[in-house]
Amino acid sequence: MIEQSIASQIENQVAMVTGAAQGVGLHIASRLFAAGYKVLLTDINLAGAQAAANQLDPTGERAQACQLDVSQEADFAQALDHVITLWGSVQVLVNNAAMTKAVATMELKPEDFKQLVSINLGGTFTGCQVIGRYFASQGYGRIVNMASLAGQNGGTSTGAHYAASKGGIITLTKVFAKELAASGVTVNAVAPGPIDSPMVKELVPAERLPGLLNAIPVGRLGDADFIGDVVVQLASPKAYFTTGTTWDVNGGLFMR
């Protein structure tokens, strides 16, 4: 009976995923959709988000798209208004949108550092603040932030800006978890290692892939669908006792 009750709750819940037009974001949206959530797929690339939403649900009844530039507070507010107009409410936010641009640390320009950090870290902050404020007013919410192994071990091929932004997301997760806990809102992070995704394949040339696999204790790249399944667990109404955490999914590259 308890499991049926949870399933019934999820059927009436709505999730918003940023950066959902492709890659891990799309996998996360797909797994939330499969779990029974209505899903708003947001992305700065509206056409890509619309194509992804149509792929999930051609009827549009349980998957819709919305343009959202995470560097703009107004875009979060507009997306919130849009999803409430569509489905009446929203219970889950996944801050996934991120910029990745590999640059050697000693060659990194200050303006490039600021740009990437403002998008990755700043976008997560704004999402937690704008949507978190709404969740608090409703007395319930689940926020899942996408961090990274790079934010835990100092990064490898992604550069100082990316690693710093992801490390900051881990800290922001704790800050907002403390701020929102009394309002029935949980805030957690997922920190993936190398995932079988377009981003990793872009960063790691084919000739370097065997070396990367040899460095991973389990000897394989991660599964993007499993990242989505971890998000589903953290988004569950049952996850009320888990907040401020960072879930590691890295094949054994970082253990604690």
User: What is the rounded distance in angstroms from the CA atom of residue 16 to the CA atom of residue 84?
Assistant: 11
Please write the tens of the pLDDT for every residue from 97-155: 999 888 888 999 999 999 999 999 999 999 999 999 999 999 999 999 999 999 999 97
Mean pLDDT of 57-66: 98
What is the model's pLDDT at position 46? 98
Positive or negative CA dihedral for 59, 75, 17, 130? negative
pTM for the structure as a whole: 0.94
Q: Which CATH superfamily is domain 2-248 in?
A: NAD(P)-binding Rossmann-like Domain (3.40.50.720)
Whether residue 158 has pLDDT greater than 70: yes
| Position 1 confidence tier, pLDDT thresholds 50, 70, 90 | very low
Can 162 be counted among the known catalytic residues?
yes
Instruction: Output the pLDDT for position 209.
Output: 81
Q: Please identify which residue in the block is written with the tokens 């996360």.
A: 28
Give the residue among 199, 192, 195 at the shortest CA–CA distance from 247: 192
Percent of the chain whose predicted confidence (pLDDT) is above 90: 83
Which listed residue (37, 134, 140, 162) is catalytic? Answer: 162
Give the start-to-end residue ranges of the domains of the chain.
Answer: 2-248
3-state secondary structure of 222: strand
